[in-house]
Chain A
Amino acid sequence: MKFQIPIGPQHPALKEPIGLRITVEGEIIRDADLRLGYNHRGIEKLAESKTWVQNIYLTERICGICSHSHTTCYVQGVEKLMELQPPKRGLYIRTLVAELERIHSHLLWLGVAGHEAGFDSFFMYIWRDREIVMDILEIISGNRVHYGINTIGGVRRDLDALQVKRTLDSLDTLRKRSEYYKHLGTNEPSFVARLARVGYLSREEAISLCAVGPTLRASGVPMDVRKDDPYAVYDEVPFEVCTADTCDVLGRTVVRIKELFQSYNIIEYLLKNLPAGEIAVKAPRRARPGEVVSRYEAPRGENIHYIKSNGTDKPERLKVRAPTLGNYAATIKMLKNGFIADVPLIFAAIDPCICCAERAAAIVNARTGEEKIVPMDILRQTSQRTSPNKDEKREAEWPL
């Protein structure tokens, strides 16, 4: 007997709204369908009405976890448009924050994977140690989530000797703990039983479905923007692209843990070879007309920003391709013929950031089940048409 299970838009396994329609036969998934559009925010449109500098802080708010990824990607593009070369020290600090962000994102993911598999102790321990990275980020930038460190032409805050020392000290603790989690995550029998041979995605499928990031690398494809198309100072820093050949959720876990250790090494290298000098150059207010594509290896995969300038102080178009969008097609493939029990794990394994990938709003008629995908501007027009200039209803009258 086949029946459909709706997972989402509201479901404990999902931290953000997305609709997964799953057709199951008993416990086995026969078909899966993704419904997007529950959380469209219209950021691309908003970007067109803000200046180049204001947009740094807007792009930072595309994602709460890879906030630095989006600003760096945007800022790099704008720097290319303005033909600016940020100073070395600025680029080193930018890369440092990027790698710290990768660590915090991967630790977050590992914890979530533990939680989705019902291994709450793993989740609690990892999130406790994630606080170490959050504290380093706070020491460096003053903020835990939106670091606000990038600016066009460099970074906004310099590092002093004490900050460097404290970061290096914390790295030792992190390394030690990560060794333990590596051991636990790949050896605890009940956890490995849940991860191994789940969500299989072969090398060929991963390439043809355009998977990105750890999902792609776990299928044995050594593709990393940091190596293939180096930006910032990645051409100077020694590191390896981490891959796994198991093509399953366990492989994705292993890739992320390996990347943690690479990030620790990168950070150590950056801090020990920090060049002296300025941290930023002054940027002009306007960019000359033209268009640019900027690539960046976010913790979740390749992040692409397309920026078009018409010579004013505002972008004419900003198009964001968040890494999650690249992994959706592969997710459907991975879900098929799996168990219901594996849905949260497979879906979480791409580290989905749903709002980052939303580009339209979906309207579902609750009575008939009819669905419409509506772009935001049409939605706004509709609301203005149906209730033009209506008086605001007061909720409470002043009693006196």
Chain B
Amino acid sequence: MATVKTLIYLVVCPGLLFLFIYSTFCEWYDRKLYARLQNRMGPTHTGRWGVLQPIADFFKLMSKEDIVPDRADKVMFSALPAFGLAIVSTAMLLLPVWNYSLKKPALTSFSGDLIVILYLLSLPTFIFFLAGWSSTNLFSTIGAARVLTMLFGYEVPLFLSVLSPAVLANSWRLAEIAAFYRQRPLLVLVNLLGFAIALVCVQAKLERTPFDIPHAETEIVGGTFTEYSGKKLAIFRLMLDVEMVVASGLLATVFLGGFPGGLFLGLINFIIKTLFVIFFLSLIRATTSRIRVDQIVSFSWKYLAPLAVLQLLISILFKGLIL
């Protein structure tokens, strides 16, 4: 029975099927919000208010011709999308959505899972780099180089800003951090600066405007994805959607007190809180223009990293002096 339950958890809810449906829904939410912020309609046709549009896009892409360039590293080129999707879906397992119980923790909730999820969220960046590099297209290569250059900018501030609530909560376990802030909701305010920094860094990690430099269409065509088409591109796009859900879920866990309330209430909590985070991500996307790759590195090291250190300092001082 336990096996069946675990299988249902993995495959249906909150596993792959839920993840697929929810991440496409998040894409729709993001697209609709972005469109309304720009005074456009956004998706309207497929399903009520165009909700099914991302799913339709996904299946349409799946049925398109799939081209592998002659000069590409064929094994890498074909395997990378699957690896990427697997990695971000694994990261989803670590979020304390359904295994939140501290008394009877599931296998995926352990001390230090915060580090593991950050690691799993770093891997997609390398997947993008390898995808661009193994395409051997000129534009892909430039895109790949930009992916890595950007990584030097946002990765450290993201780690620092996500670690400061952990320092305050005195735990490296996501479920415990969330539980800590649920008990003392006012302490969330201490980490507001960190939340803002983490939002900007997640935006950069997801390669959305103003950080869509690796696939800036007016500069380097499709960037890292220039050579990708058909199924592989569809899986990459799905991967980005899932990454958005996982990253916003991580921010919601660490900064907004996680998802209490068991399977159903927990899921509702999860949906509300991730949509809240995605709302900010869309807002940033709509109100900025793409910056240059040298500008993001200097911006991160001049502003983001010092502010993240400041946030860490605030957390440490707060913990030492007041708590």
**Partner-B contacts on A (CB < 8 A):** 3, 5-6, 11-13, 27, 114-122, 124-125, 128, 188, 190-191, 193-194, 339-344
* Stretch in contact with the other chain, from B76-84, B107-115, B214-222, B262-270: B214-222
Chain A interface helix/strand/loop/mixed: helix
A12 and B212 CA atoms in complex are apart in Å by 15
* B38→A121 contact, CB < 8 A: yes
Cβ of B3 under 8 Å from chain A: no
Residue of A13, A117, A343 near B290 (CB, 8 A) is A117
* Stretch in contact with the other chain, from B150-158, B241-249, B291-299: B291-299
Cβ of B132 under 8 Å from chain A: no
Chain B residues 112 to 132 lying within 8 A of chain A, measured CB to CB, are: none
What 5 A-B pairs are tightest by C-beta distance, nearest first? A118-B290, A119-B289, A124-B38, A13-B218, A344-B218
* A124→B40 contact, CB < 8 A: yes
> What are the residues of chain A within 8 A of B216 when measuring CB–CB?
118, 341
Q: How far is the CB of A347 from chain B (nearest CB, A)?
A: 10
* B212→A118 contact, CB < 8 A: yes
A145 and B64 CA atoms in complex are apart in Å by 37
Q: How far is the CB of B141 from chain A (nearest CB, A)?
A: 9
* B289→A194 contact, CB < 8 A: yes
Q: How far is the CB of B49 from chain A (nearest CB, A)?
A: 19
Would you give 30 A-B contacts (Cβ < 8 Å), ordered by A? A5-B139, A5-B142, A11-B221, A12-B221, A13-B217, A27-B293, A117-B289, A118-B216, A118-B218, A118-B289, A118-B290, A119-B288, A119-B290, A120-B209, A120-B286, A121-B37, A121-B38, A125-B39, A128-B39, A188-B287, A188-B289, A190-B290, A190-B291, A191-B288, A193-B295, A194-B290, A194-B292, A341-B213, A341-B293, A343-B219
> What are the residues of chain A within 8 A of B212 when measuring CB–CB?
118
A122 and B291 CA atoms in complex are apart in Å by 15
The residue of chain B having its C-beta at the shortest distance from the C-beta of A122 within the complex is: B289
> What are the residues of chain B within 8 A of A124 when measuring CB–CB?
38-40
**Partner-A contacts on B (CB < 8 A):** 37-40, 138-139, 142, 209-210, 212-213, 216-221, 286-295
Of A114, A340, A342, A343, chain B has the most CB atoms within 10 Å of the CB of: A340
* B289→A191 contact, CB < 8 A: yes
A188 and B38 CA atoms in complex are apart in Å by 16
The residue of chain B having its C-beta at the shortest distance from the C-beta of A344 within the complex is: B218
A12 and B306 CA atoms in complex are apart in Å by 37
Q: How far is the CB of B280 from chain A (nearest CB, A)?
A: 16
Q: How far is the CB of A199 from chain B (nearest CB, A)?
A: 13
A13 and B222 CA atoms in complex are apart in Å by 11
The residue of chain B having its C-beta at the shortest distance from the C-beta of A343 within the complex is: B219
* A121→B210 contact, CB < 8 A: no
A159 and B294 CA atoms in complex are apart in Å by 54
> What are the residues of chain A within 8 A of B286 when measuring CB–CB?
120-121
Q: How far is the CB of B274 from chain A (nearest CB, A)?
A: 23
A114 and B289 CA atoms in complex are apart in Å by 8
Q: How far is the CB of B133 from chain A (nearest CB, A)?
A: 15
Q: How far is the CB of B219 from chain A (nearest CB, A)?
A: 5
The residue of chain B having its C-beta at the shortest distance from the C-beta of A12 within the complex is: B217
The residue of chain A having its C-beta at the shortest distance from the C-beta of B212 within the complex is: A118
How many contacts between A and B, using CB within 8 angstroms? 76
> What are the residues of chain B within 8 A of A12 when measuring CB–CB?
217-218, 221
> What are the residues of chain B within 8 A of A190 when measuring CB–CB?
210, 288-291
Q: How far is the CB of B140 from chain A (nearest CB, A)?
A: 12
* A193→B291 contact, CB < 8 A: yes
The residue of chain A having its C-beta at the shortest distance from the C-beta of B213 within the complex is: A341
**Given A121-B287, A194-B292; A115-B40 close (CB under 8 Å):** no
A344 and B216 CA atoms in complex are apart in Å by 11
Residue of B209, B218, B287, B288 near A116 (CB, 8 A) is B218
Residue of A6, A13, A119 near B219 (CB, 8 A) is A13
Q: How far is the CB of A235 from chain B (nearest CB, A)?
A: 41
The residue of chain B having its C-beta at the shortest distance from the C-beta of A341 within the complex is: B292
Q: How far is the CB of B211 from chain A (nearest CB, A)?
A: 10
A340 and B212 CA atoms in complex are apart in Å by 15
Q: How far is the CB of B41 from chain A (nearest CB, A)?
A: 11
> What are the residues of chain B within 8 A of A188 when measuring CB–CB?
287-289
Q: How far is the CB of B59 from chain A (nearest CB, A)?
A: 25
> What are the residues of chain B within 8 A of A115 when measuring CB–CB?
218
* B289→A125 contact, CB < 8 A: no
A115 and B216 CA atoms in complex are apart in Å by 11
The residue of chain B having its C-beta at the shortest distance from the C-beta of A339 within the complex is: B292
| Additional 17 contacts, C-beta under 8 A, given A6-B138, A124-B40, A343-B219 | A12-B221, A13-B219, A27-B142, A27-B293, A27-B294, A115-B218, A116-B218, A118-B210, A119-B209, A120-B38, A121-B37, A125-B39, A190-B289, A194-B289, A194-B290, A339-B292, A341-B292
The residue of chain B having its C-beta at the shortest distance from the C-beta of A192 within the complex is: B289
> What are the residues of chain A within 8 A of B139 when measuring CB–CB?
5
The residue of chain A having its C-beta at the shortest distance from the C-beta of B289 within the complex is: A119
* A342→B210 contact, CB < 8 A: no
A121 and B216 CA atoms in complex are apart in Å by 16
> What are the residues of chain B within 8 A of A194 when measuring CB–CB?
289-292
> What are the residues of chain B within 8 A of A344 when measuring CB–CB?
218-219
The residue of chain B having its C-beta at the shortest distance from the C-beta of A348 within the complex is: B218
> What are the residues of chain B within 8 A of A3 when measuring CB–CB?
138
Q: How far is the CB of A361 from chain B (nearest CB, A)?
A: 25
Q: How far is the CB of B223 from chain A (nearest CB, A)?
A: 11
Q: How far is the CB of B126 from chain A (nearest CB, A)?
A: 21
Q: How far is the CB of A367 from chain B (nearest CB, A)?
A: 16
A104 and B288 CA atoms in complex are apart in Å by 24
A210 and B39 CA atoms in complex are apart in Å by 40
> What are the residues of chain B within 8 A of A191 when measuring CB–CB?
288-289
* B294→A118 contact, CB < 8 A: no
Q: How far is the CB of B105 from chain A (nearest CB, A)?
A: 43
Q: How far is the CB of B60 from chain A (nearest CB, A)?
A: 20
> What are the residues of chain A within 8 A of B287 when measuring CB–CB?
121, 188
A54 and B39 CA atoms in complex are apart in Å by 42
Q: How far is the CB of A1 from chain B (nearest CB, A)?
A: 11
A128 and B39 CA atoms in complex are apart in Å by 8
> What are the residues of chain B within 8 A of A6 when measuring CB–CB?
138
> What are the residues of chain A within 8 A of B295 when measuring CB–CB?
193
A339 and B213 CA atoms in complex are apart in Å by 13
> What are the residues of chain A within 8 A of B220 when measuring CB–CB?
340
The residue of chain B having its C-beta at the shortest distance from the C-beta of A13 within the complex is: B218
> What are the residues of chain B within 8 A of A13 when measuring CB–CB?
217-219
> What are the residues of chain A within 8 A of B38 when measuring CB–CB?
120-121, 124-125
